[in-house]
Structure 1
């Protein structure tokens, strides 16, 4: 798995979401690396990492992440995940990973109806972005274009940096594992929980109040399944708090894992 490592201090591992890459963390990377040794990974079949040999499901990607942590000697490292990556780090916590876990807007806690809406809307978004790839460079340079393209994901997409948006949306076509991982999210099992007192490390779940991908109502389900987790709300934030509220998101991560 390709990764980048910057900063110094206590190690911190960042795990991106579906169709994304380690570049998704760029808005908060300066704040994190000022205090921590930050390792940001590209999951298999995303960014610059080769796909897995075999199925690319939430489960197999989590297994690969677990193997990466062991192989690189990162046992006990603090974990931060976004979206699908947020679900993956929660699963590692459930499996007994001893570090602190910060999970930002995780998937896997939807009702049947919410899962259906997620599947239809995200599949349509992926198809649209793939169809307009030649125009993305132009569209992402304008506030109106960023708003139209990322209204589902951000509470104020017009404020996002054009290069961040362009990189993110190009991943929809460039990620060979996206379709299979998306199908796993839509059709696969929900995220299992952890009984009270069973988690060896601290777990913090962050949620954007304006999240349109994993709606804020799902936070209650996440807390029921992870009763030992603490819940933090981000105001004026969509699915990616590290984009919409970078300073508060970085502060939550640093304070939670200090």
Structure 2
């Protein structure tokens, strides 16, 4: 029996593709997108530490510590290098995996870490407020998730077209935002206080992407072009901060672009 540190959902066949969500969500944030991805990849979607069905780390949940947990699980699963698709914090962890030479390619959507202090404060205010509101109104999350207008309410700050999201994606904010054990410590240590270093060691293709309607992460993604050798930036039209169900077809094409360059 294989023992892993994190909870993983695995399906599909092909080259391994790891999906990593942002702070305040779970692996179900990729529910719509996974339908297409499983036709091309062996898809492994994780709940990051302290989110969903994954236990919190024993120590401080920095990007390094979270990446340690992901990397240890890849070892336990017998996987070396993998393709990575990450959103927000998951994108930042994906870039760290690339720095450690564990990625064949990375598609990083709206990674944090290179934002200015005022942008960090804004991001923290938005995410922190969402946590308080959803935790207070937790009993309403499940009923709201059943209908498109309700899903628009739950995901309105993250997606440009939140009513397009599936019920599973809407419920991810319950398990990853309202209920997450490690939300506040992860938000602080892995998002607001994180400063990336050593990304000039990345030796795989990296495609950076950000929704043009992203009101959470401002314009920080494009700054990674100066930090990651050979990285390319692709704006996602009509897409928000977590655009998995805003532009699923475009994200699949980004993965193909990155994989073809590997």
- Asked whether the two chains share a fold, i.e. TM above 0.5, the reply is yes
**1:111 alignment counterpart:** 116
- Whether the aligned pair in 1 keeps the contact of 2:20 and 2:46 (CA below 8 Å) is yes
**2:164 alignment counterpart:** 159
**2:38 alignment counterpart:** 33
Aligned CA-pair RMSD: 1.9
User: In structure 2, the residue corresponding to 1:27 is in which secondary structure?
Assistant: helix
Could you tell me which of 76, 80, 84 is aligned with 1:75? 80
- Whether the aligned pair in 1 keeps the contact of 2:208 and 2:222 (CA below 8 Å) is no
| Aligned counterparts, 1:41-80, within 5 A | 41-80=46-85
User: In structure 2, the residue corresponding to 1:37 is in which secondary structure?
Assistant: strand
User: In structure 2, the residue corresponding to 1:28 is in which secondary structure?
Assistant: helix
Query: What is the distance in 1 between the residues matched to 2:216 and 2:179?
Result: 21
Q: Is 1:213 aligned to 2:216, yes or no? A: yes
Query: What is the distance in 2 between the residues matched to 1:179 and 1:204?
Result: 29
Query: What is the distance in 2 between the residues matched to 1:80 and 1:160?
Result: 18
| Structure 1 range deviating more: 158-167 or 67-76 | 158-167
**2:228 alignment counterpart:** 226
- Whether the aligned pair in 1 keeps the contact of 2:62 and 2:194 (CA below 8 Å) is no
- Whether the aligned pair in 2 keeps the contact of 1:77 and 1:99 (CA below 8 Å) is yes
**2:3 alignment counterpart:** none
**1:133 alignment counterpart:** 138
- Structure 2 stretches of 5 or more lacking a match? 1-5
| Structure 1 range deviating more: 156-165 or 103-112 | 156-165
Q: How many residues align?
A: 255
Query: What is the distance in 2 between the residues matched to 1:29 and 1:143?
Result: 20
| TM value normalised by structure 1 | 0.91
Q: Is 1:172 aligned to 2:177, yes or no? A: yes
The alpha carbon displacement at 1:164 in A equals 2.0
The alpha carbon displacement at 1:97 in A equals 2.7
Runs of 4 or more above 4 Å deviation:
none
The change in CA–CA distance for 1:55 and 1:44 in structure 2 (over 3 A counts) is same
The change in CA–CA distance for 1:136 and 1:158 in structure 2 (over 3 A counts) is same
1:120-177: CA deviation from partner (whole Å, max 9, x where unpaired): 1211111001000112223334444333332221112122223421233342132212
The alpha carbon displacement at 1:187 in A equals 4.3
| TM value normalised by structure 2 | 0.90
- Structure 1 stretches of 5 or more lacking a match? none
1:26-79: CA deviation from partner (whole Å, max 9, x where unpaired): 111111111111111122222212222222232211121122222322111111
